[in-house]
Amino acid sequence: MTLPGAPYLARDAGELRLEGHSLAELAARFGTPLYVYSRSAMRDAFQAYERALQGRRHLVCYAMKANSSLAVLQTFVQAGAGFDIVSGGELARVLAAGGDASRVVFSGVGKTRAEMRQALQAGVRCFNVESASELDTLNAEALALGCRAPVSLRVNPDVDAGTHPYISTGLKGNKFGIAHDQAVAAYRHAAALPGLHVQGIDCHIGSQITQLAPYLDALDRLLDLVEEVEAAGIPIHHVDVGGGLGITYTDEMPPAASEMVRALLQKLDTRGHGHRELLFEPGRSLVGNAGVLVTEVLVLKPGQVDDGGKNFCIVDAAMNDLMRPALYEAWMRIEPCVQRAGVVPHTWDVVGPVCESGDWLGRDRRLAVECGDKLAVLSAGAYGMAMASNYNTRPRAAEVMVDGSRVHLIREREDVRSLFAGERLL
C-alpha cells in the first residue's frame, strides 16, 4: 500500500514513520494532538515547481493560508519562494520568518485601508485587486503615501474547476474576481489612476483541482484579455495563474506540478506569450502531503450496529484541530501509528470530544484499535493547523517539524491561560 505523503511517510515493521521518525514516539514525547511535518517533503514539492519553470521568468508564491506556521514559512524563504498573502497578519508573519516583501503578492477580496498602507510601506511586489472600488481605495492610499501601488487584476474566468462548491472560486456566482466582461473597463480605469501601476493579471479558480483542463481554459481566457488590454495600450507584464493543484487524499490522481506547469508553458508559447513572467500561488500542493495529525484514542464506544447504531472511536483531536472533515466532508486517510496484531478490526466513526455531531474526522473506517493507541490523520499539512480554533476552550495542538535526523518543536502546545489572557471580568 502506498501512503499519500510517500516517500517520506512509510510503514516500517508495523510503525508509521515520517522521514524515519516514529510517529508513536513523537506523540509520546510531545503529547497529542500533534501535527508533524516533513521539511524534505515541503522542499521537494517546491522544487518540483521550480524545476519545471527553469529557464523561464517566474515566481512561485506559496499561498501561506494553507499553513502559516513560522518554521514552515522559513522553510520556503530558504528554498527561494515568494508568498501569496491575504491579510496584514500574513504579511507580518512572512517578515517575521525572514521573507522579503518584494516577493509577496497580496490577494483577497476585502483588504482594509490599514492593510493596504502596511503592504505599501513594506513594498509588496503586487496587489491582486478584485474590484473597481478596491482600485479607487488603493489609489487614494498610495497617493497619500506618495507612492504608486503595483496592481494586477484578479479576473473571474468563469470556468468550472470541478471541485467542492466551498473551494471553487472561478465561477460567475462566486464573490471572487472581476467579471471577465468587465475586466477591460477595469484595466482602463486602473491605468488612468495616478497612484496605480498596472503590472499583471491573475486568477484563482479553486482548490483541490485534479484536472488540467480547467487551468488551460482559465489561461486561455486570461490571454484573451491580455491581448485586449494591451491593444488598449496598457502593458501587462506578468500572468499569475493562482494555486489550486490538488493532492492525493484517497484515490485522486491530480496531475503532477511538473505536468501542470509544462502544459501551461506550452499554452503560453503556442499563443505567443512565452516571454511573460509566470506566477503561481500553490498552497495545498506544497504542504498538504508533508504533514500528519497524530491523535490518541480516548474512548471506544461500540454501538448497536445491526440496529442503526454506530461504533465510535473517540480521539483527542477534534474539529477545532482539523476542520476539513466537518466543513467540507473531506475524506482524510486515518492510519494507526503502530499496527495491532491480535485486535479484531471493526468499523469505527473516528470522532473528537467536541459537543457537535459534526465533530468527526473519519466515518466508517476499518481499524484495529484499543484505548491509548495513536492514530495519524494523513495529508493534514494544508488547512489543518491554519484553520484550527479554540472552540470548547481547547488549546491548539503542538507542531513538530522533522528534518533528516533532526526533530524541531516548531510550536508549543497552547496554554489554556493564554486563551483568556486578553479577557476582562466585569
* Catalytic (active-site) positions: 355
The yes or no reply on residue 281 touching ligand LLP (CB under 6 A) is yes
Choose one: 178-186, 238-246, 260-268, 364-372; the region binding ligand LLP (CB under 6 A).
Answer: 238-246
| Residue closer to ligand LLP (CB basis): 245 or 354 | 245
Instruction: Tell me if 130 sits within 8 A of 154, measured CB to CB.
Output: yes
The yes or no reply on residue 374 touching ligand LLP (CB under 6 A) is no
Exactly one of 4, 177, 195, 244 binds ligand LLP (CB under 6 A); which one?
244
Question: Quick check: bond before 33 cis, omega within 30?
Answer: yes
Choose one: 17-25, 63-71, 214-222, 226-234; the region binding ligand LLP (CB under 6 A).
Answer: 63-71
Instruction: Tell me if 294 sits within 8 A of 23, measured CB to CB.
Output: yes
For residue 419, CA distances in Å to 266, 324, 386, 393, 423 come to: 51, 23, 17, 7, 9
The yes or no reply on residue 383 touching ligand LLP (CB under 6 A) is yes
Exactly one of 152, 199, 248, 285 binds ligand LLP (CB under 6 A); which one?
285
Choose one: 181-189, 204-212, 364-372, 395-403; the region binding ligand LLP (CB under 6 A).
Answer: 204-212
The yes or no reply on residue 242 touching ligand LLP (CB under 6 A) is yes
Exactly one of 157, 195, 254, 282 binds ligand LLP (CB under 6 A); which one?
282
Exactly one of 10, 143, 167, 298 binds ligand LLP (CB under 6 A); which one?
167
CA–CA dist 12, 27 (Å, integer): 17
| Residue closer to ligand LLP (CB basis): 163 or 295 | 163
| Residue closer to ligand LLP (CB basis): 9 or 279 | 279
Q: What's the min distance (Å) between Cβ of 63 and ligand LLP?
A: 3
Exactly one of 107, 152, 295, 379 binds ligand LLP (CB under 6 A); which one?
107
Determine the length of the chain: 426
Exactly one of 243, 325, 336, 395 binds ligand LLP (CB under 6 A); which one?
243
Exactly one of 36, 66, 178, 261 binds ligand LLP (CB under 6 A); which one?
66
Q: What's the min distance (Å) between Cβ of 111 and ligand LLP?
A: 12
Q: What's the min distance (Å) between Cβ of 306 and ligand LLP?
A: 35
Cell digits for 114? 490599514
Contacting ligand LLP within 27-46 (CB under 6 A): none
The yes or no reply on residue 208 touching ligand LLP (CB under 6 A) is yes
Choose one: 49-57, 59-67, 218-226, 305-313; the region binding ligand LLP (CB under 6 A).
Answer: 59-67
Question: Quick check: bond before 325 cis, omega within 30?
Answer: no
Other CB atoms closer than 10 Å to residue 167's CB: what's the count? Answer: 17
Q: What's the min distance (Å) between Cβ of 192 and ligand LLP?
A: 26
How many residues at the interface with ligand LLP, by CB under 6 A? Answer: 21
Choose one: 138-146, 193-201, 271-279, 282-290; the region binding ligand LLP (CB under 6 A).
Answer: 282-290
The yes or no reply on residue 201 touching ligand LLP (CB under 6 A) is no
List residues near ligand LLP by CB under 6 A. Answer: 63, 65-66, 84, 107, 167, 204, 207-208, 242-245, 281-285, 324, 328, 383
